[in-house]
């Protein structure tokens, strides 16, 4: 084995050991981001809620550090662009060309990241559940049923080259579609809404899964809170779904 491979394995093992040593049932704290209009929403469940599918250390770093960084960057931008903090997030992301060129790219990345991760924490939950009612009917009508939907969604997430997201978008008349976006781009940029989505950035899974994105995509279904998804579906149809 090359020394590079040994170092890689050592780092991976160290990461797993750190994850194992993480205290149980610790709620992630909002990071100490620069004060401003944007905040990281606290997780409504403990960081170890999804083990073994998503480990607590990944949840802590993902929520506190990665989402925290997007929020800190937004608050820094908002210091000189206060309108960012007073406009609705879907309105800003749906009209990026209205922004000055010096902040457009940073807002796209950081507000997109804030919106995507806010949705992501919301649609996960610790108790396992299955889709039912109108959401299940829409999945059967538009996505070929649960088995085909999950297979197609996982395949789309696997095909997304590099960092990005795989979403189910929802129209106001309730129609569903699987769509991917690179980086922190979001369907909100196209005036659409995400019913749900999975983060396929390596930061979402690398400590536990390393290069095995396909395994992460499969395991992630165990973390979906379908009652929250049903709430979002109803809100989308009512025209009240935010991010
Ligand atoms: Fe992420």
pLDDT of residue 30: 47
Distance from Cα 2 to the centre of ligand 1, integer Å: 31
Distance from Cα 46 to the centre of ligand 1, integer Å: 17
pLDDT of residue 128: 77
pLDDT of residue 35: 86
Torsion angle of C-alpha atoms 100, 105, 109, 111, degrees rounded to 10: 0
Asked if 86 contacts 37 with a C-beta cutoff of 8 angstroms, the reply is yes
Distance from Cα 41 to the centre of ligand 1, integer Å: 14
Distance from Cα 238 to the centre of ligand 1, integer Å: 28
pLDDT of residue 129: 87
pLDDT of residue 162: 97
- Model's pTM, two decimal places? 0.86
The 3 state secondary structure assigned to 56-121 is HHHHHHHHHHHHHHHHHHHHHHHHHCHHHHCCCHHHHHCCHHHCCHHHHHHHHHHHHHHHHHHHHH
pLDDT of residue 36: 94
Distance from Cα 128 to the centre of ligand 1, integer Å: 21
Closest CA to 233 of 171, 186, 141, 191: 171
Distance from Cα 204 to the centre of ligand 1, integer Å: 5
Collect the ranges in the chain with pLDDT lower than 70: 1-34
């Amino acid at each position: 084995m090359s020394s590079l491979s040994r170092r890689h394995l050592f780092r991976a093992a160290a990461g797993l050991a750190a994850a194992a040593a993480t205290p149980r049932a610790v709620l992630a704290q909002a990071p100490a981001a620069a004060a401003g209009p944007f905040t990281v929403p606290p997780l409504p469940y403990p960081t170890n809620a999804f083990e073994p599918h998503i480990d607590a250390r990944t949840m802590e770093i993902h929520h506190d550090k990665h989402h925290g960084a997007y929020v800190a960057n937004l608050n820094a931008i908002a210091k000189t662009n206060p309108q960012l903090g007073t406009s609705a997030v879907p309105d800003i992301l749906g009209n990026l060309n209205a922004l000055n060129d010096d902040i457009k790219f940073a807002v796209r990345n950081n507000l997109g990241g804030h919106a995507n991760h806010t949705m992501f924490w919301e649609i996960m939950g610790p108790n396992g559940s299955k889709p039912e009612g109108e959401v299940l009917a829409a999945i059967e009508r538009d996505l070929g049923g649960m088995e085909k939907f999950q297979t197609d969604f996982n395949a789309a997430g696997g095909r997304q080259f590099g960092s990005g997201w795989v979403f189910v978008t929802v129209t106001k008349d309730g129609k569903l579609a699987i769509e991917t976006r690179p980086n922190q781009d979001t369907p909100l940029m196209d005036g659409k809404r995400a019913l749900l989505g999975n983060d396929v950035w390596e930061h979402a899974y690398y400590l536990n899964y390393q290069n095995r994105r396909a395994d992460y995509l499969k395991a992630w279904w165990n973390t979906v809170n379908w009652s929250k998804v049903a709430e979002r579906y109803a809100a989308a149809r009512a025209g009240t779904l935010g991010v």
